[in-house]
Amino acid sequence: MRMNQFSNPWVELKESLRDQALASGFDVAGFAAPRPPPRGEYLADWLARGWHGGMSWMERRPESRIDPASLMAGTGVILVLGVNQRPPSRPEALATYACHADYHDLLTRGVQDIGVWLTEKVGHPVAMRVCVDSAPLMEKPLAVAAGLGWQGKNALLATRGFGCWLMLAELLIDLPLPPDAPDGGHCGDCDACLGACPTDALREPYRLDASRCLAYWSVESKGAIPHAMREAMGIRVFGCDACLAACPWNRFAPVVRRAEFLPRPELSGAAWGTWATLDETGFARLFGDTPVRRLGRIRFLRNVAVALGHADPPERLDLLAGLLAHASPLVRGHAAWSLGRIARLATQACDLLRARESVEGDDTVLAEIRQARTFTPPV
């Protein structure tokens, strides 16, 4: 690199790197010092309360989450990057990030390209590590430390220019580039996100109880979804954008500019009910390159079964009848619950439950059927 005698070479390199990141498709880029980020001290209390639910992996190496420098020896700075994903309209059944190719793959490639550019720029190898939700890193607090925004009362990153719609990635760099100044909070007295949560998972401002979050139950949970959560899910099949979408700062966010992050019509429209008929081949063809793939078809159909209990008739009865006869007890049990919910309005649902009870061999499913036949809507 050529620097004049009056310049600070690290500042110039930092700004060149930021310019390159923005030119390569990222919407924001900031630099954080490799030290514990804001609110990192709350992690231990969050774990102690059990607010991580069944995500036991959150308990491993908590010191690494608090101290990002422990992830790579010699880390001098952390480049935090964001891509806007605000859709033109809200998808019906999937969280926005699930309606296009997996952002983990797309952002990883983009960060790797920036790493290649940086190596060429400085003219010698530089130790780096790419992180896209793939390391014990508190990425939202780091984004705050990098000056990209603040952690909102919904526990998400909130920004002036993009609301809560940024997907984040990080690049740990073994160079002493100067960090940016953090931004202060701008939630004020607003609590729109807290009121928007359908399960009161935001029990305290800025802190999420994942064990009550619909995104947790529809994406992370391995077994049966509690009945109270099923009632709150509505037609959410994967994830929940309620607290994200409620943030007033979103009104400043432009629509996503990168085509690969636009919601696909087949994933964001109203035809989600037909997903109940997907076999393994169809599931892989439709969701194979999206975040939904990691759910697997059985848990996916579990969620579809719950959503069908909230959908409009008459198509749902035929679809639920198919799921009630599925090979997986997990799918059958959730289909039974939905039929019980519908039985208040349709005698055919009662008939389906009665017929299945006579041949069902799984005790867990039998219990779901018997409870469904006496279903009482919550007050």
Q: What's the one-letter identity of residue 154?
A: N
Distance CA 25, CA 12 (A): 21
Structure tokens at 71: 């992830």
328 and 336 Cβ atoms separated by less than 8 Å = no
> Contact at 8 Å (CB) between 46 and 164?
no
Structure-block tokens of residue 262: 């636009």
Q: How far is CA 108 from the centre of its chain?
A: 16
In what order do the strands lie in the sheet containing 166-173? 28-32, 77-84, 166-173, 128-131
H or E stretch including 168? strand 166-173
- The verdict on whether 133 is a catalytic residue reads yes
Find tokens 């705050």 and name the residue: 144
CA distances (Å), 127 to each of 74, 76, 79, 274, 363, in order?
Answer: 8, 10, 13, 48, 55
Cα Dmax for the chain: 87
Catalytic residue among 133, 191, 318, 362: 133
| Other CB atoms within 10 A of residue 62 CB | 15
| Measured distance CA(41)–CA(283) in Å, rounded | 41
Q: Which H or E run includes 112?
A: helix 103-122
DSSP annotation of 181 reads P
Name which of 312, 313, 352 is nearest 332 in CA terms. 352
H or E stretch at 150: strand 150-151
Neighbours of 176 (CB within 10 A): 11
User: Please, what is the end-to-end C-alpha distance for the chain in angstroms?
Assistant: 69
Q: Give the whole-angstrom CA distance, residue 261 versus residue 291.
A: 12
- The Cα 243–Cα 199 span in angstroms is 11
Active site residues: 133
